[in-house]
Amino acid sequence: MEEIPVKVAVRIRPLLCKEILHNHQVCVRVIPNTQQIIIGRDRVFTFDFVFGKNSTQDEVYNTCIKPLVLSLIEGYNVTVFAYGQTGSGKTYTIGGGHVASVVEGQKGIIPRAIQEIFQNISENPSTDFKIKVSYIEVYKEDLRDLLELETSMKDLHIREDEKGNTVIVGAKECQVESADEVMSLLEMGNAARHTGTTQMNEHSSRSHAIFTISICQVEKNTEAAEDGSWCSRRHIVSKFHFVDLAGSERVMKTGNTGERFKESIQINSGLLALGNVISALGDPRRKSSHIPYRDAKITRLLKDSLGGSAKTVMITCVSPSSLNFDESLNSLKYANRARNIRNKPILNFSPESDRMDEMEFEIKLLREALQSQQASSMSQTSQIHREETPDNRILFLEEQVAQLQGECLGYQNCIEEAFTLLVELKDAVRLNQKQQHKLQEWFNMTQEVRKSILTSFRGSRGIGNLEEGPQHITVIQLKRELKKCQCALAADEVVFNKKELEVKELKNQVQMMVQENKEHVLSLKEAQKVNRLQNEKIIEQQLLLDQMSEELTKLNLSMTSSAKETCGDGPDARIPEKRPYTVPFDTRLGHYICIPARSDARKVKSEH
Ligand code: ADP
Ligand code: MG
């Protein structure tokens, strides 16, 4: 199986109007005529494809996605996923926004791919196509069906099918007939997707979204080939996943609080898990084979696409603004690591497997033929040798005789031909006496041999008909083949029994592993619960801290003003000109308490 690397593209979006207004500087550029990007003054990265600020949606589609659509039709599972900071252009590039209101040239990857898939279908009348669509989002580590919002999260499960492909059990799959139908489902799902306004992006996607198109292709009219040989109907099922990840973000920059803050933590932990998977797969010095796919839902869902059997393109989106330098550099580092990931794409249909199916069918037919032949030859044998017992020795001798008779017939034919030829030559060529004598001797000898063969046949068959020979030989040859086949069948049975035992053992092992897995899941859930509680506590404490610092500020202000009022400007006022601290009055203690000016307390204040 051929290994191919995950293809990595980087797209730099242009500065947005508000960024231009605020005089943001550009810190990421494409080096012209190369596939390289320079960030800052001297950090250069090379990728499979790079797209600068003037790149069009068409260019991105034709370069990165068109080949994926072709692979999809060939029978490969394919994935494109967009990675990057919030507001860097992922949803714009993938085309997962409000698609209906977008002008043609601005349409992203999904609408373009849908159009191309349906065009392929219309150009291929010899194949039956069945298209299904599903749309899922991962919001705060829960799966949501964007095409069936009533479906409870508990009814959606990530599982592996018998071929090892990741599937979402319980997700609605809508069968579609046209590109328009797919577009309206996409629009419907987009509307249901969790988005929100952050300081970084007005329509920030708060979830990871996976839009999937499954294609089932069945070749028409291949059930019976013209020559009558059996031919299987090709069956190809392949999938295209379009993944729009939620953006990585720095909580400080987005200015998120409350629910948004919690969302940010979940988004970042999912992306952290994805980063760990990319690092583990992309590390050439990797020692352990463990890839932490199970750390997050999104990594479990992308398992086939990262280090699995699909063909994958990762599009990393970056903002050009120097204010986002750190995030852009981080994204480029991830993208660079992802270039080391190798997948082993497999055709969901392969000519070899088709041939295997055919051969299996042929074997089945042969077995049936053999069985009926066996039955008929058994009855024949019992007729011919009614008095004989089936003795192996006799059978063996019979076989030998048949073989010799076969050889004999072959020689006889040669001699017959030589005889006629020599008769012709005798008349046409002048021979000396010695030669004539020799030839006559040969004729005599041949005549004698022919006679003796005839008598031996008459004797052995007792019927006196030479033409029966070949039939007898055929029966015996068939018997011999039958015996061989019986032996092969017995050997097959032994192998089958062995395999059955192995399967039993494997089943036991699987059961044990499932049991272990259940235990692990339980402990994992508990750990996650504890983790969640801790996170919530941190958030509460953070909020409390904010509240306290606010109150403290207010108190300080009121204290300062009241102090001023009471003290006035009179000569008795004993307040120093410049006090190092603002001292609130504690009513319970009845005296001034001194609060040192802590640097971290100021930090919290400055975030607002
Ligand atoms: P993300 O999904 O990464 O959070 P969006 O795709 O929502 O970011 O993009 C943020 C903003 O930038 C949107 O207003 C979008 O129209 C704009 N934008 C992104 N990429 C481009 C681009 N290549 N050309 C023009 N505008 C873009
Ligand atoms: Mg988005």
Contact 457, 466 (CB under 8 A): yes
**243-270 confidence digits (pLDDT tens):** 998 877 655 555 556 665 666 666 677 8
Q: What is the mean pLDDT of residues 109-137?
A: 94
Sign of CA dihedral 412, 416, 419, 421: negative
Per mean pLDDT, which range of 145-159, 181-195, 210-224, 313-327 is the poorest?
210-224
If phi > 0 it is left, if psi is from -120 to 50 it is alpha, else beta; for residue 380 that is alpha
DSSP assignment of 176-242 equals ESSHHHHHHHHHHHHHHS-EE--SS-TTEE-SEEEEEEEEEEEESS-SB-TTS-B-PPPEEEEEEEE
Q: What is the mean pLDDT of residues 107-111?
A: 95
Please give the pLDDT value at position 20: 94
**74-83 confidence digits (pLDDT tens):** 999 999 999 9
Please give the pLDDT value at position 433: 81
Position 305, amino acid: S
User: Does the structure show a pLDDT above 80 at 66?
Assistant: yes
Residue 154 lies in a domain: yes
Return d(Cα 309, Cα 76) in angstroms, integer. 8
Which contiguous run of DSSP H or E holds residue 596? none
Q: What is the mean pLDDT of residues 10-31?
A: 95
Residue 252 sits in which domain range?
A: 4-352
Return d(Cα 583, Cα 591) in angstroms, integer. 10
User: Does the structure show a pLDDT above 90 at 211?
Assistant: yes
Question: What proportion of the chain, given as a percentage, has pLDDT over 90?
Answer: 35
The answer, yes or no, to whether any atom of ligand 1 lies below 6 A from the CB of 91, is yes
Return d(Cα 316, Cα 336) in angstroms, integer. 10
Q: What is the pTM of this model?
A: 0.60
Q: Tell me: is residue 91 an annotated ligand-binding position.
A: yes
Greater confidence, 541 or 601? Answer: 541
- Ligand 2 mean position, distance from CA 70 (Å): 27
Please give the pLDDT value at position 331: 93
Non-local CB neighbours of 45 within 8 Å, separated by 6+ positions: 10, 36, 37, 39, 332, 335, 336
Contact 71, 78 (CB under 8 A): yes
If phi > 0 it is left, if psi is from -120 to 50 it is alpha, else beta; for residue 228 that is left
**331-364 confidence digits (pLDDT tens):** 999 899 999 898 999 887 655 555 566 677 777 7
Give residue 589's Cα distance to chain centre. Answer: 68
Residue 440 lies in a domain: no
User: Does the structure show a pLDDT above 50 at 594?
Assistant: no
Contact 581, 595 (CB under 8 A): yes
Atom of ligand 1 nearest to the CA of 51: 23
Q: Tell me: is residue 84 an annotated ligand-binding position.
A: yes
**What are the tokens at 386?**
């009614």
Return d(Cα 327, Cα 446) in angstroms, integer. 101
Contact 90, 110 (CB under 8 A): no
The answer, yes or no, to whether any atom of ligand 1 lies below 6 A from the CB of 331, is no
Please give the pLDDT value at position 596: 43
How many angstroms separate the Cα of 344 from the Cα of each of 306, 541, 563?
Answer: 10, 48, 75
How many angstroms separate the Cα of 193 from the Cα of each of 91, 187, 196?
Answer: 12, 10, 10
Return d(Cα 366, Cα 369) in angstroms, integer. 5
The CATH number given to whatever domain includes residue 324 is 3.40.850.10
User: Does the structure show a pLDDT above 60 at 578?
Assistant: no
Strand partners, 28: 39
Q: Is 431 helix (H, G, I), strand (E, B) or coil?
A: coil
Contact 382, 480 (CB under 8 A): no
Number of independent structural domains in the chain: 1
User: Does the structure show a pLDDT above 80 at 119?
Assistant: yes
Ligand nearest to the CA of 86: 1
Calculate the average pLDDT of the chain.
Answer: 80
The answer, yes or no, to whether any atom of ligand 1 lies below 6 A from the CB of 201, is yes
- Ligand 1 mean position, distance from CA 15 (Å): 10
Atom of ligand 1 nearest to the CA of 92: 6
The answer, yes or no, to whether any atom of ligand 1 lies below 6 A from the CB of 205, is yes
Q: Tell me: is residue 90 an annotated ligand-binding position.
A: yes
The answer, yes or no, to whether any atom of ligand 1 lies below 6 A from the CB of 208, is no
Contact 205, 263 (CB under 8 A): no
- Ligand 1 mean position, distance from CA 13 (Å): 7
**What are the tokens at 516?**
């272990």
Please give the pLDDT value at position 581: 42
The answer, yes or no, to whether any atom of ligand 1 lies below 6 A from the CB of 282, is no
Return d(Cα 55, Cα 92) in angstroms, integer. 13
Q: Is 13 helix (H, G, I), strand (E, B) or coil?
A: coil
- Ligand 1 mean position, distance from CA 116 (Å): 24
Return d(Cα 562, Cα 579) in angstroms, integer. 15
Q: What is the mean pLDDT of residues 485-502?
A: 85
Please give the pLDDT value at position 279: 85
Q: Is 53 helix (H, G, I), strand (E, B) or coil?
A: coil
Cα Rg, the chain, nearest whole Å? 42
- Ligand 2 mean position, distance from CA 196 (Å): 10
Please give the pLDDT value at position 600: 42
Atom of ligand 1 nearest to the CA of 317: 3
Residue 462 lies in a domain: no
Q: What is the mean pLDDT of residues 267-287?
A: 79
Return d(Cα 585, Cα 261) in angstroms, integer. 34
User: Does the structure show a pLDDT above 80 at 209?
Assistant: yes
Greatest mean pLDDT among 416-420, 521-525, 580-584 lies in: 521-525
Per mean pLDDT, which range of 248-262, 269-283, 400-414, 508-522 is the poorest?
248-262
Residue 282 lies in a domain: yes
Non-local CB neighbours of 118 within 8 Å, separated by 6+ positions: 178, 179
Contact 246, 207 (CB under 8 A): yes
Please give the pLDDT value at position 466: 45
Contact 247, 85 (CB under 8 A): yes
Residue 24 lies in a domain: yes
User: Does the structure show a pLDDT above 50 at 109?
Assistant: yes
Residue 341 lies in a domain: yes
**223-233 confidence digits (pLDDT tens):** 544 544 444 55
Report helix, strand and coil shares of the chain as percent, to nearest 5.
Answer: 55, 15, 30
Return d(Cα 437, Cα 215) in angstroms, integer. 84
Greater confidence, 268 or 505? Answer: 505
Residue 86 lies in a domain: yes
**What are the tokens at 5?**
């690397």
Which contiguous run of DSSP H or E holds residue 460? helix 433-461
Per DSSP bridges, beta strands 4-5 and 342-343 are antiparallel
Greater confidence, 233 or 271? Answer: 271
Atom of ligand 1 nearest to the CA of 13: 23
Ligand nearest to the CA of 202: 1
- Ligand 2 mean position, distance from CA 82 (Å): 9
DSSP assignment of 343-389 equals E----SS-HHHHHHHHHHHHHHHHHHHHHHHHHHHHHHHHHHTSSS-
Contact 164, 188 (CB under 8 A): no
Contact 267, 261 (CB under 8 A): no
Return d(Cα 356, Cα 232) in angstroms, integer. 10
- Of the residues 92, 201, 202, 248, which should be mutated to test ligand 1's pocket, given the most ligand atoms within 8 Å of the CB? 92
- Ligand 2 mean position, distance from CA 236 (Å): 33
Atom 1 (ligand 1) nearest CA: 87
- Of the residues 13, 18, 59, which should be mutated to test ligand 1's pocket, given the most ligand atoms within 8 Å of the CB? 13
> 397-409 as b/e, with b when 16 or more CB fall inside 10 Å?
ebbeebeebbeeb
Please give the pLDDT value at position 605: 37
**142-190 confidence digits (pLDDT tens):** 899 999 988 777 788 898 877 778 888 899 999 999 999 999 999 999 8
Greater confidence, 229 or 426? Answer: 426
Q: What is the mean pLDDT of residues 468-496?
A: 74
Position 338, amino acid: A
- Ligand 1 mean position, distance from CA 197 (Å): 14
Question: Exposed, middle or buried by CB within 10 Å (0-12, 13-18, 19+), for 31?
Answer: middle
Provide the pLDDT confidence category of residue 291 given band limits of 50, 70 and 90: confident
Q: Tell me: is residue 89 an annotated ligand-binding position.
A: yes
Please give the pLDDT value at position 77: 93
Which contiguous run of DSSP H or E holds residue 489? helix 468-567
Give me the long-range contacts of 471-479 (CB less than 8 A, separation at least 24): 472/402, 472/405, 473/402, 473/405, 473/406, 475/377, 475/380, 476/398, 476/399, 476/402, 477/402, 478/373, 478/377, 479/377, 479/381, 479/395, 479/399
DSSP assignment of 270-295 equals HHHHHHHHHHHHH-TT-------GGG
Question: Exposed, middle or buried by CB within 10 Å (0-12, 13-18, 19+), for 46?
Answer: middle
